[in-house]
Amino acid sequence: MSMTLTIVKPDAVAAGNAGNILALLQSKGFKICAMRQMRLSEGQAKAFYEVHKERPFYNDLVAFMTSGPVVPVALEHDGDAVPLLREVMGATNSEEAADGTVRNLYGTDIERNAIHGSDSAENAAIEISFFFSRSELISNQ
């Protein structure tokens, strides 16, 4: 089993699609190890997305991610969780995402794309620990 992190973004939460997204992920073999709904503070969003702070979209990303509730979820999969999640999520730009992917179904554009997913196993571990303590993670093995 390997783990990754996803965040159902404010656009998808506001549209009432968090449950649909989680159901889709579970149908693809992902198991929920920890989950919560929260509203990120500006400081939390800046810290989480610090890797992008030099990018032109950083301030817009922080503003978007603090615009409403999000649902961070630690996920487990018996395959390689990170690339599998990225495949199920679809292309970053929802307009280019393959049919049936989360972003195709629930995103609207490159920013309001419904879901975040870790981009490497190393970042998944860091991102999971950003939101959840070790004692909050329940393995489904």
What does each C-alpha distance from 122 to 3, 30, 102, 110 come to in angstroms?
10, 19, 23, 24
Using only C-alpha atoms, what is the Rg of the chain?
14
Residue in the block written with tokens 């503003």 = 63
β-sheet bridge partners, residue 7 = 72, 116
Quote the DSSP letter at residue 117: E
Residues serving a catalytic function are 116
